[in-house]
Structures are given as C-alpha cells and as structure tokens.
Amino acid sequence: MHSLSARLLVLTVLFVMLAEVLIFVPSFARFRHDYLTDRTASAYLAILALDATPDGVVSDALKRQLLENAGALAISARRGDMRLTLAADALPTVGASFDLRDASPLALIADAFSLLTADRDRVVRVVEAMEGPINAEIEVVIEERPLFNALVDFGGRIFILSLVISVITAGLVFLALQWLLVRPMQRITESMVSFRANPEDAGGVIAPSLRGDEIGVAERELARMQNGLRQALQQKEHLAALGTAVAKINHDLKGILSRAILVVDNLAASEDPEVKRIAPTLISSIDRAIAMCGQTLNYVGADQPTVTWARFSLSDLIGELRQETPDSVALQSDIPDGLTIQADRDQIYRTLSNLIQNAVEAGADRIDLVSRHTQDALMLEVADNGPGLPPRALKNLFKPFKGSAKAGGTGLGLAIAREMMRGHGGDLSLKQTGADGSRFCITLPDRADV
C-alpha cells in the first residue's frame, strides 16, 4: 500500500463502488415501485374480468385463479360510487398502506429501505390509479415476503454486477494510469536517484520523451537541470584544479618578481641617465604585477573574508583615502564628521579605495562620496564623472577574471569588494553608468556593537 500504483488501484475500486452505491439506491426504490405497479396492473386485469360478468360475481374457483394470477390476497376497484371486490375468504391484518399515486422519489426510497427492517410476514395495502377501459382506483392487499425476496435477489445481482464493473474499471484505470503516469514517474524517480548517486555520469541523465503534457515538461526540465548541474560540477572541478595551479604559479611568480624589484632598486641608484629614466616605470610595472599576483592568490586561496567588527569614524577613513587620491582628482564628501559605523575598517577602506582607483583609472577628475540612512541600513554612494563602464565590463560586472574595464585587468577588485560587503550582511551594486559617469552604492546594515 506504500506504492502509488496500489493506492491508485484501491482508490479507483472505492470510487467506482461509491458511484455504484449512488446508482443502487434509486434503482432499489425503482425496483420496488415497479414490482408494486406490476401487482396493481395484474389486479386491474382481474377487475376487468370481474366487470365483464353480467352481475359482477364470479365463481370461487375463478376468484382464486384471478387472485393467484395477480399475486394478491384481495383486490378492490372503486369507480365513482361503484366498488368491485375480489377477496380471499379470510384476510390477515394489514400492517401498512402505500399510496403510489403521489409518492415522491424520497418517499419511495424511504419505503424501499424500510422493508429491510420490517416484519417479513407483513401484509400491506397498495393504492394506485389505473386508466383504461374503466378508470378506477385500485387497492391491492399483498404479502410482503415475495417482494422482500425479490429485492434481496435484485440487490445481490446489482452488488455482483457492481463489483465486476468496479474491478474491470479499476483494472483499466490502473493500466491507463500505470502507462500514463506511474511508469513515467518511476522513470523520473530512478533517474533522480541515479543522478544523485553519481552526478558526473552522463548515463544518469534522463532521456526526455516527446510527450507534450506535464510529464513531458517535467522530463525535459529535469534533463536540463541535470545537464546544467553536470556542467557546473565539471566546471567547478576544472576551476578547482586551475585555482590550485594558479596559486602555485602565482606564489612562485611573486617570489621571482620580489627578487626582480630588488635588482631594479639597485638599478635605480645608477648614475646612468637612461637607467634612471626607465627605472621608475619598471618598478611600477613590477609593483602592479606583484599586486595582481597577490589579488589572485587571495581570491583563489581564501574563503569568505573574515569580518573584524569595530566602531570607527567614517570621516577619518575618508581623510586617509583623500591623501592617496591624486591631486588632479577632486574627492568630495558630504559625510558628516561625527558619523561612525560598526564594520571592518580595513575592508571598508579597501572597497572604497578600489572604487576610487577604478574611477581615477577610467579618467574621472571628480569623485563624490554621499551617505544616507534608511530605516535599517547605511548607504554609501561613490559617484564619478568618468566615461562610464564599457559594455564588456558591464556584462560581466562583479565576475572574477571577466569584469575588468581595462586591458590586462583581472576584474578581481570589484568581485572581492562585493564579497567583503556581503560578508558584512550588505552589498555592493552599480546604480548608474553612462557617458556622464558611474555611481556605485555600498549598503551596510545598521548594526549595534558586535
């Protein structure tokens, strides 16, 4: 009973049996009504035979024959003031009377089921209006046991027929559901289990059918999801292997560049004018290469940046950033002098420094820092008047090794900055970019002391 197939089979049988019960109840009442109507019709024929006699009297033998053919103990017909009667010599007491002339469907159903609990040897009187050669009101007195036996026999046949119909219907529905629903669902389930056990195995990916219904849609979507997960896992493995290799290469390269810069420092002390001219450029290039190696090592080898919470003055931090900003760039700030925030000072500094440096390298000569409070957050906006981000950088913004706006860049700066802000429970986002400049927004939750 734990499988879907078994439950569907049992439910189908139960529902068909319920439908048969709903059909059986009126059928049971209709059978009783027809039985009584047949008795009154037979009684009407007996009355017609009695009415055909000259004086309305028949012999005892003919009377018994007419009553026996009608299945009645007594028959009475009333037409106006005239009454015709056929009756046995000794009549038992009538236990109940039923009038078929104005009986409602509910009354017929109630009368039919009352028979199941009534006395089996009860004698009842049935009244019906008949039309024909003579229009008369027919009353018939009959024994109820034959009616009871007929009803029980009818109910048994209906039950057996209902059971057979239920089994056949349930079997057909079961086979249809098995083919249309259960087997496809089992196939989807088996594919999911197989894929979970070994997601790298291409054989575990379900082959979707050509069905156009919901099952077909589920199969195709599952296949897309499984293929997407396989590609993501493969890419993750490749990136992990690449990250390990890059980390080793960068570590060795950083050592080589560090030794190279010592040599260049010695060259800078030379008196040769040409050496003095090219030494600063060479030192600057090596410094950038070392910084790039450091960024790559930090991104590849580090997990989520650890936040060291502290309360500090944001205006003091802006003052330090202003000292590092070139004199040709105007760094404007409307941040109040007394504003303090609870965050990691070094990470906030690195994030703002990265945004300012990117703006300067893009050609901006004015950078504005704006702060504003919302109900539960502090917003820091960094706006510049540069040329805006190029489409290539905009498409891959915040993606490492893809989102750089300058040639030779790694795109790690913004990726690391956003990761640090998300580590604070906030975010870093681009609000606007275009020919009149770009505007980034840092969102920091308004936190109490941690």
Taking the CA atoms of residue 344, residue 350, residue 351 and residue 354 in that order, the dihedral angle to the nearest 10 degrees is 180
pLDDT, tens digit (0-9, with 9 covering 90-100), for 318-374: 988 988 888 899 999 999 888 899 999 989 998 999 999 889 988 999 999 999 988
User: Which CATH number describes the domain made up of 233-301?
Assistant: 1.10.287
Question: Which has the closest alpha carbon to 115: 136, 132, 98?
Answer: 98
Q: How far apart are the first and last CA of the chain?
A: 55
pLDDT, tens digit (0-9, with 9 covering 90-100), for 404-414: 555 545 567 78
- Categorize the per-residue pLDDT at 450 as very low, low, confident or very high, splitting at 50, 70 and 90: very low
Domains of the chain by residue range: 4-168, 233-301, 310-445
C-alpha torsion sign, points 346, 351, 354, 359:
negative
Q: How far is CA 302 from CA 124, 143, 252, 295, 296, in A?
A: 98, 98, 18, 10, 10
pLDDT value, residue 193: 87
More confident residue, 40 or 280: 40
**DSSP calls for 349-368:** HHHHHHHHHHHHHHT-SEEE
> What value does the mean pLDDT take over residues 290-309?
65
> What value does the mean pLDDT take over residues 230-259?
72
Backbone φ, ψ for residue 271 (5° rounding): -90, -5
Whether the pLDDT of residue 415 is over 90: the answer is no
193 neighbors 185 (Cβ within 8 angstroms): no
More confident residue, 5 or 32: 32
pLDDT value, residue 188: 86
Alpha-carbon distance of 34 to 422, in angstroms, equals 83
Question: What are the beta bridge partners of residue 342?
Answer: 311
> What value does the mean pLDDT take over residues 112-122?
82
Residues near 85 by Cβ (< 8 Å), separated by ≥ 6? 74, 75, 76, 77
> What value does the mean pLDDT take over residues 189-211?
82
> What value does the mean pLDDT take over residues 391-401?
78
Q: What is the mean pLDDT of the chain?
A: 81
pLDDT value, residue 448: 56
User: Which CATH number describes the domain made up of 310-445?
Assistant: 3.30.565.10
Whether the pLDDT of residue 79 is over 80: the answer is no
Taking the CA atoms of residue 156, residue 162, residue 164 and residue 167 in that order, the dihedral angle to the nearest 10 degrees is -140
pLDDT, tens digit (0-9, with 9 covering 90-100), for 133-185: 777 788 888 888 888 888 889 888 888 887 788 778 878 877 887 888 878 88
pLDDT, tens digit (0-9, with 9 covering 90-100), for 142-154: 888 888 888 889 8
More confident residue, 333 or 248: 333
Number of other residues whose CB lies within 10 A of the CB of residue 180: 13
